[in-house]
Amino acid sequence: MTGGESSSEDPIEHQPTGEDRVRMVARQVSEPRTANWIVSEADWSHEPTKRVLERLVDDGILHRNDTGDHTTYFPDYRRQAIKEAIRLRDSDHTVEDLTQRLTEMNAQIRGWKDEFDVESPNQLRGTIADQVLDVTEEDRRREVAREWEQLQRRIEIVGFAIREWDFLAPGTERGGARR
């Protein structure tokens, strides 16, 4: 590059702002978190983070819970699930692809149920207390329990996308423009 040219890939232009980081962190939490936790994860100052969190609550993107010792924030999981179902519908996947993926996810869970002789992730966690296991096996069971819970959430979303395939179609696929 010569002296007078500027790069279209200027790293400074692509750096997320503090507000961007707060929004990213807040939307990705899997359990209610305090503003201080979000401040730390987003690496931004407290007062601006609180203002962003309150705007996200006002916009219906986050929920605030004031009932405990500390106020916590968490995403609207229903909104996230619907957005993910729409993303699946708008992707290159067919309904048949998603049905096959659903079959594979259910088979994975059946495999864990058979392998560990349990019916739920929490029952699997309970086997750690019930049995004498080495540290590696305890870690594996904890990891499988986490994966199992994630898979259950994914099954719900994929199942919803399949059940509502026609409804989730873009307006142009449902017979014309919307009014």
- Computed over every residue of the chain, the mean pLDDT equals 88
pLDDT in tens, 130-175: 888 999 999 999 999 999 999 999 999 999 999 999 999 987 665 5
Report domain extents, the chain: 18-75, 79-169
**What is the spatial distance between Cα 33 and Cα 68, in angstroms, rounded to a whole number?**
12
In the chain, what percentage of residues exceed pLDDT 90? 72
What burial letters (b/e) apply to 72-102, b meaning 16+ CB within 10 Å? bbbbbeeeeebebbeebbeeebeeeebeebb
Fold category of 18-75 in CATH: Arc Repressor Mutant, subunit A (1.10.10)
- Output the pLDDT for position 173: 64
pTM above threshold 0.75 = no
Q: Is the pLDDT of residue 13 over 70?
A: no
Q: Which two tokens stand for residue 170?
A: 């873009």
Cα separation, 170 vs 173, whole angstroms = 6
Q: What is the arithmetic mean of pLDDT over 19-33?
A: 90
Average pLDDT over every residue of 100-105 = 98
